[in-house]
Amino acid sequence: MSSGPREIVTPFRPIPLDVPEGMKPNEFFNSTENLNDLVHNNGLLQNPEGLLLYRKALGHSNEFDTSIIYNTSQSILDPLGRPVRRTQVPEQVKHVWNRMNQIIFDYMLERYPDPDQHLVLAGEASLDATWPLTSPGVPSIRMLHNHFIVFDKEALKNAPLADADNPNLTDGGQHSLFQAHMRDVYRAFFDDLDLEILQPCQAGSCKIALTGYPQGLPSWEVRGGAAALKEVRFWKEYDIILKGFIDFYRAFFGQVSTRNSPMPKDVFFPALVEEKLLFDNDFLKAAKMVRDRCIKDAKYANSIRWQPAFKQLIYRNDAGKLIVTISQNSIGNAITELLGVVVKRTPDADAYGAAEPALIEKLLEARRRLVEADLGTGIATPYWGAA
């Protein structure tokens, strides 16, 4: 069996939405009007904390695919003022969101117990405000949301190899700025974070053999497996990984932007930033290299995402162990591409309709478990009832 990134075709039912004249589709998708449609046509569950569970109408997989969005569309009308990462979510909301994450992930592991048959993953992406809404690669819904996805490994095995030069597949590999110029600094910074449940993976042990991904990303094994996700400590450490990444990213691009700039305001780990980054010659040489190129190369400078851009996920590796990883310097890639899965969505109502009943059955079972745990109430749509 050859190893390499796969490109799979995922059919979807065309969405009957009329984009107002003069608006681009991703501008409309970011609107309150579109979020209302998402609730009424694809909503599964909502709760007083503003968390909405919904079916992915333009999904990654028709085996299992759902998301939770922190729906602030009506309470925060400025799209650039909405929370876009876990560190910006109120604690009481994050507490509920973590419980929802745990229950859905636990259901996926129960429903798909064999790592040889299914690839199981969950995670979220940064939706930073560093690019205009109309730029390519900018998420269509600029609010914090995550993904719960399952792929059939037999389907992946039979799928054609993806183009290895696809820029979305190089996010954490040899073309990554962090990996190419600051790998040792980056790893040493993470090594000093206070982690107990998350332990660094041994080299190569985290890859999915079928795809050969992830490539070059720092990864941690979840000590204790699925049971650890029921512990508050796990979610605190999941946040520590993200906070460490944000500190590193902001410190680096602060130096790129302004030579010898002071430590960014409100860093999470100021002592680590000072000792491990701002006094490290390799770190500062890399910043100078990028800064010098930005000054001379307008196209390169325009491609820089000055605020933290990332994908963070939990997935099951081939040995059945749960792994946490985080990307760096995202180009706008889909979360699945961190694991070497490129999704080609195609409009095909009949093909989607054939897969829909089984998909909905599983989504409703996940919803039932959330309702049972007092994490929300069901939503009725034309496709399913409220209970």
In this predicted model, what pLDDT tens digit does every residue of 310-335 receive, in sequence order?
889 999 999 999 999 998 755 556 78
Q: Of all residues in the chain, what percent carry a pLDDT higher than 90?
A: 66
Higher pLDDT among residues 82 and 258, named by residue: 258
Q: Count how many domains the chain has.
A: 1
pLDDT of residue 132: 53
Q: What DSSP string runs through 250-307?
A: HHHHHHHHSTTPPPPTT-S-HHHIIIIITT-HHHHHHHHHHHHHHHH-HHHHHH---S
Other C-beta atoms within 10 Å of 332: how many?
17
Lowest mean pLDDT segment, chosen from 124-138, 211-225, 364-378:
124-138
Task: Say if residue 209's pLDDT is above 50.
Answer: yes
pLDDT at 330: 55
Q: Is residue 347 part of a domain?
A: yes
In eight-state DSSP terms, residue 369 is: H
Helix/strand number for the chain, H first, E second: 10, 12
Domain range for residue 309?
A: 6-378
What is the predicted pLDDT for the residue at 174?
Answer: 41
Asked whether residue 175 carries a pLDDT value surpassing 60, the answer given is no
The gap between the terminal CA atoms of the chain, to the nearest Å, is 44
Is the distance from CB of 195 to CB of 272 less than 8 angstroms?
no
Query: Which tokens sit at 126?
Result: 């940064």
Percent of residues, the chain, with pLDDT higher than 70: 92
The tens digit of pLDDT for each residue in 265-276 reads 999 999 999 999
Choose between 133 and 143: higher pLDDT: 143
* Average of per-residue pLDDT values in the chain: 89
Residue 160 near residue 315 (C-beta atoms within 8 A): no
Mean pLDDT value across residues 363-372: 98
Local confidence band at 277 (pLDDT 50, 70, 90 cut-offs):
very high
Chain centroid to CA 294: how far?
28
Is 317 contained in some domain? yes
User: Would you state the pLDDT for residue 332?
Assistant: 54
| Per-residue pLDDT reduced to its tens digit, 239-256 | 999 999 999 999 999 999
Examine residue 174 and state whether it is found in any structural domain, yes or no. yes
Does 14 fall in a domain? Answer: yes
Structural tokens at position 360: 């909905």
- Residue 284 falls within a domain, yes or no? yes
Q: Tell me the torsion sign for CA atoms 83, 219, 265, 333.
A: negative
Global pTM reads 0.93
Strands 6-12 and 341-347: parallel
Residue 384 lies in a domain: no
Residue 299 has pLDDT above 90, yes or no: no
* pLDDT computed for residue 222 by the predictor: 98
Type of residue found at 64: F
Whether 383 is in a domain gets the answer: no
Top pLDDT among 32 and 22 is at 22
Residues 6+ positions from 205 with CB-CB distance below 8 Å: 221, 317, 319
Q: Can you give the pLDDT at residue 170?
A: 61
DSSP H helical ranges for the chain: 25-29, 32-42, 91-111, 153-158, 177-191, 232-257, 270-272, 281-296, 298-303, 349-372
Query: pLDDT band at 112, cuts 50/70/90?
Result: very high
Strands 43-46 and 51-55: antiparallel
- What's the mean pLDDT in 73-102? 90
Instruction: Output the CA–CA distances (angstroms, integers) from residue 5 to 116, 179, 212, 268, 331, in the order listed.
Output: 17, 20, 7, 35, 17
Identify the residue with better confidence: 63 or 15. 63
Is 137's pLDDT higher than 70?
no
**293: Cβ–Cβ under 8 A, 6 or more apart, which residues?**
300, 301
Mean pLDDT in residue range 88-99? 95
